[in-house]
Chains A and B, each alone.
Chain A
């Protein structure tokens, strides 16, 4: 199925030049908190993709009926309901991951990306573009999480997805895991590095300096 260039922009824009995390700098709080290991990063990314996509579709379907005065409340209720369902499903089918993500699944409700997309996109567009927009923004958030989680687990624990990848021989030769990687400040430095690389490749995103 071919996508028109407009739908393509809706889906792929958030992955690159309109990325919610590294360009709009939204959703940083959870990006810092859950990325100390790769597995929770991936699960969190999937959870956010699902919630943004379906919240967008639901709000888009309801957009002609929602009373303007309570639209934020309606959006919150939809998001909160979806997040609760995700959290219940995780508790039933991925108990360990749910323990690691602890409060952050619940906090998807307050994720700025979500409310932003509902307000800015779903209220004014049809269900199909809204769905793509949700997937795009969820993935845009998700790939940053996965990259940060990858480096933090690799350098902080010498492992990936819980499997040791840095050989024992290297430790015997004096290599040590970087404990700082496990702390939130290193996550923000990693996000900053991604922003740095991204902006140097996309000159038009660079702010003017006087």
Chain B
């Protein structure tokens, strides 16, 4: 058979593509369940880190179900959307992506640590090279931060990527999102500088744009929860 004829080339290419597609589809089917489980575990680990608990992937599931008492979606007025409660990965709070325009609301997780309730809210924003995200655990007064967790897709190692380290996230403890009953969020400033109007933490030296991204995320992403936090703030102070 002539290897250089057009007919042979076309048939060769078609058969090859079909064989490869079947092979890849099969691989994906076989591994998909494990991959989703990994992603869910990773998300649980992040949520737990916002509660200042660094647990291994093996313990994440148990610890998560032990501490997280409730999860639900809220609407723009900060009121719980009926029928959205549940903490498992299949429930709306866990599976809703923040920023999805079709979502029925914003996810909130309720955790109980040492007898007091903490509210955990997700955040997302943009760093220098790609997306950044995080979780903020807030005390029941809706203002004081209990713990924070940050993640990034591909910030510069050693510079912007430092936002996912413990020294950076631990600075957020006990900072307040409200000042004089007004939502100010927490600012990220250049190390050594101050901000008299808002509570602040030090940014990353050499990671200016990533630090600004975190600052921005704390304003806009957390800002979407303003009514919810305000309701907590007026009810519990």
Interface residues of A (CB under 8 A from B): 36, 65-70, 73-74, 77-78, 81, 84-85, 88-89, 91-93, 95-96, 99, 102-103, 156, 179, 182-183
Interface residues of B (CB under 8 A from A): 3-4, 8-9, 12-13, 16-17, 20, 23-24, 27-28, 31, 34-35, 38-39, 41-42, 57, 153-154, 156-159
Closest B residue to A36 by beta carbon equals B157
A96 to B39, CA, bound (A): 10
Would B158 and A182 count as touching, CB distance under 8 A? yes
10 contacts between A and B (CB under 8 A): A66-B12, A70-B12, A74-B16, A88-B27, A91-B31, A92-B31, A95-B35, A156-B158, A179-B158, A183-B158
Contacts between the two chains (Cβ within 8 Å), count: 67
Given the known inter-chain contacts A102-B154, A179-B158, A183-B158, please indicate yes or no for A92 contacting B12, CB distance below 8 A. Answer: no
A69 to B8, CA, bound (A): 11
Would A183 and B156 count as touching, CB distance under 8 A? yes
Contact of B34 (CB < 8 Å), options: A66, A77, A84, A93 = A93
Would A77 and B158 count as touching, CB distance under 8 A? no
Closest A residue to B34 by beta carbon equals A92
Residues on A with beta carbons closer than 8 Å to the beta carbon of B42: 95, 99
A93 to B159, CA, bound (A): 29
Residues on A with beta carbons closer than 8 Å to the beta carbon of B153: 102
- A92 to B: closest C-beta gap in Å: 4
Closest A residue to B8 by beta carbon equals A67
A78 to B159, CA, bound (A): 37
Contact of B38 (CB < 8 Å), options: A78, A92, A183 = A92
Given the known inter-chain contacts A67-B9, A68-B4, please indicate yes or no for A95 contacting B31, CB distance below 8 A. Answer: no
Residues on B with beta carbons closer than 8 Å to the beta carbon of A91: 31, 35, 38
Given the known inter-chain contacts A85-B24, A92-B31, please indicate yes or no for A69 contacting B158, CB distance below 8 A. Answer: no
